């Protein structure tokens, strides 16, 4: 039933966003659990908002390095990896000794404690390398290990679209159809989201990057866009969230090219997208190309305009998981403005406010 409680600026659902809505004139609003990102005055469907609504309270991701390599590095697809990726760090001989899965989660939670004092629940994010690139039984072991951590309430798995054979998708579906382990229901007992009634949260993030094959060739990606189409088709209806990584500002891509990628995301009707500009870290082919002046990296103002255009082209139902990217400063080359993520976010919010637009504005006009 609809609640008459007005939404208030600074409500937890919008606490991490600058533009809370002015709801003083709202007579009737949906019940709190049904609030949309529009109801709380956001210009796009942020991942923070989605997670708060899905879990009923703050949930953050903790990155895990499970020791996987990548078929684009070990010669299975090609060697050398993507031009922007420091894939030498995936070599067993260069790998620093890491804590086990549980140890890494504990370390990350300790590091995040200061920033997210009131956050007690986390998603295990298998992030570096290709996290489905192993026999199914090994994958099962590492995912189960993460889920056994008492503060882990779900899984996020980053991978390549050409690296999800059907037996791996079957495994991911099996996890996504399970009810959460008892510690999840216990941990989120007081949340408003009735988490214990929902299956385990599992998200798969595919490295799509762009729909343009010439750009995928430029970055030595080792697959074309048809791999993404195939992975998405085989992933549909399996209970897990389907996401895509996209890079803006790839050499040779025009503004129209980037908007074509946005429209394709809408056509694919996936659940989530992570967007960032092309940025450069040490020990990569891209670093050499930038140093030689062969590749230009976007300036902040240009990126802000482009990412707002991009989000306007997305369907309003698509979660926008990230709008910028960075890397540890000692490892980072440029553009340096990426290192100030709050400033990038503020600039994006300001641009939406200046235009008076929001996610989906141009998606609707393109579609209907
Ligand atoms: S597919 Fe991912 S892990 Fe592999 S080389 Fe490219 S960016 Fe690195």
Our measurement of the distance from residue 91's CA atom to the centroid of its chain's CA atoms, rounded to an integer in Å, reads 25
Residue closest via CA to ligand 1's atom 5 equals 81
Q: pLDDT of 63-115, one tens digit each?
A: 999 999 999 999 999 988 999 998 766 655 444 556 799 999 999 999 888 88
- Looking at residue 13, its pLDDT comes to 42
Q: pLDDT of 314-344, one tens digit each?
A: 999 999 999 998 888 888 999 999 999 999 9
Q: Which of 68-72, 238-242, 253-257 has the lowest mean pLDDT?
A: 68-72
Tell me, using a 6 A CB cutoff, whether residue 70 lines ligand 1.
yes
Three-state DSSP state, 305: helix
Report how far residue 89's alpha carbon sits from residue 72's, in angstroms, rounded to the nearest whole number: 13
- Is the pLDDT at 11 greater than 60, yes or no? no
Tell me, using a 6 A CB cutoff, whether residue 159 lines ligand 1.
no
pTM across the whole model: 0.89
Tell me, using a 6 A CB cutoff, whether residue 131 lines ligand 1.
no
Q: Is 56 left (phi over 0), alpha (psi -120 to 50) or beta?
A: left
For range 297-309, the mean pLDDT: 98
Closest atom of ligand 1 to 86 CA is 8
Closest atom of ligand 1 to 84 CA is 7
CA of 348 to the centre of ligand 1 (A): 28
Which domains, ranges and CATH numbers included, belong to the chain?
43-367 (3.20.20)
- Looking at residue 368, its pLDDT comes to 42
Q: For residue 35, what are the contacts with CB-CB under 8 A and spacing of at least 6?
A: 7, 13, 29, 53
- Is the pLDDT at 15 greater than 70, yes or no? no
Q: pLDDT of 257-289, one tens digit each?
A: 999 999 999 999 999 999 999 999 999 999 999
Residue closest via CA to ligand 1's atom 2 equals 129
**pLDDT-above-70 percentage for the chain:** 86
- Looking at residue 234, its pLDDT comes to 98
Tell me, using a 6 A CB cutoff, whether residue 247 lines ligand 1.
no
Tell me, using a 6 A CB cutoff, whether residue 163 lines ligand 1.
no
Name residue, tokens 């300790």.
110
For range 231-256, the mean pLDDT: 98
- Looking at residue 90, its pLDDT comes to 60
Structure tokens at 73: 């590095």
Tell me, using a 6 A CB cutoff, whether residue 82 lines ligand 1.
yes
Residue in 70, 79, 128, 281 to alter for ligand 1 test, most ligand atoms within 8 A of Cβ:
70
Three-state DSSP state, 133: coil
The Cα angle at residue 110 between residues 106 and 113, in degrees rounded to 5: 135
Our measurement of the distance from residue 85's CA atom to the centroid of its chain's CA atoms, rounded to an integer in Å, reads 17
């Amino acid at each position: 039933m609809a609640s008459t409680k007005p939404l208030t600026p600074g409500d937890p659902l919008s606490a991490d966003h600058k533009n809370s809505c002015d709801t003083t004139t709202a007579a009737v609003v949906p019940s709190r659990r049904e609030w949309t990102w529009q109801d709380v005055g956001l210009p796009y469907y942020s991942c923070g908002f989605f997670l708060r609504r899905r879990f009923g309270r703050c949930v953050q991701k903790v990155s895990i390095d499970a020791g996987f390599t990548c078929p684009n590095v070990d010669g299975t697809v090609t060697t050398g990896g993507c031009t922007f990726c420091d894939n030498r760090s995936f070599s067993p001989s260069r790998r620093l000794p890491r804590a086990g899965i549980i140890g890494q989660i504990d370390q990350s939670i300790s590091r995040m404690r200061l920033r997210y004092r009131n956050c007690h629940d986390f998603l295990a994010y298998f992030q570096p390398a290709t996290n489905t690139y192993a026999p199914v039984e090994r994958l099962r072991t590492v995912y189960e290990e993460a889920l056994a951590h008492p503060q882990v309430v779900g899984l996020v798995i980053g991978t390549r679209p050409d690296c999800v054979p059907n037996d791996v998708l079957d495994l991911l579906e099996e996890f996504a159809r399970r009810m959460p382990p008892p510690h999840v229901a216990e941990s989120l007992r007081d949340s408003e989201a009735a988490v214990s009634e929902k299956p385990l949260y599992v998200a798969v993030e595919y490295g799509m990057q762009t729909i343009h094959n010439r750009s995928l060739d430029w970055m030595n990606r080792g697959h074309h866009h048809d791999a993404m189409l195939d992975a998405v088709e085989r992933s549909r209806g399996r209970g897990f969230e389907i996401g895509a990584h996209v890079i803006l500002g790839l050499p040779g891509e025009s503004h129209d090219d980037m908007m074509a990628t946005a429209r394709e995301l809408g056509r694919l009707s996936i659940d989530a997208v992570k967007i960032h500009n092309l940025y450069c870290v040490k020990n990569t082919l891209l670093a050499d190309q930038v140093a030689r002046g062969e590749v230009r990296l976007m300036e902040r103002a240009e990126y802000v305009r482009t990412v707002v255009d991009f989000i306007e082209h997305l369907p309003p139902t698509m979660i926008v998981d990230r709008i910028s990217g960075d890397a540890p400063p000692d490892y980072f080359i440029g553009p340096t403005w990426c290192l100030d993520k709050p400033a990038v976010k503020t600039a994006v919010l300001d641009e939406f406010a200046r235009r008076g637009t929001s996610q989906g504005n141009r998606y609707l006009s393109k579609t209907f």
